[in-house]
Amino acid sequence: MLVSSIEIKSNFIEPFTVYCSEFGLAAGSFRKNRSRIEKRLGLVRVSAEDLNNTNLLRIAMVQLREYFSGARKNFNLSIDYSLMTSEFQKSVLDEVSKVPYGSTSTYGEVARLLNSSARAVGGANADNPIPVIIPCHRIIGNDGNLRGYAGGIHLKEALLRLEKARLL
């Protein structure tokens, strides 16, 4: 997939790169995972002018900076869902997107809403191509413990702290 990208730096968290196709935000990655994510998702970076998506990148950058500074609670970005691996993954990430800022839910609760298993929900959540924007960091274990996160548990914990989320 052809994308353009921009790295957002913040005093709060390590740099985060967003990738936009001509249809919307397609992916996101923390710096340490960038090359792995680009390879796994088949992202080919070109200039924003070549894709005519300079404005999309600018809007994503502004909104992410606002979020990382604590000034934004919701994102209003066009999403390109073409990198979702299945309709099931899209349904999981749609449910994950409904978890409000400052709140958490569990893999089991999302599974119950979708009549699925917590393991299947965990797998779909783990492959979220757009972390932070699709807030997979808000999904925790049924016991209240933090479970895996692409950027590492320390980043999941930092995002939940930013949102002042209460764990179960």
Residue with tokens 């052809």: 2
C-beta of residue 150 within 8 angstroms of C-beta of residue 31: no
CA–CA distance, 111 with 133 (Å, rounded to integer): 21
**136 in catalytic set:** yes
Q: Which of 136, 139, 155, 160 is catalytic?
A: 136
User: What are the tokens at 3?
Assistant: 């994308």
Active site positions, annotated: 136
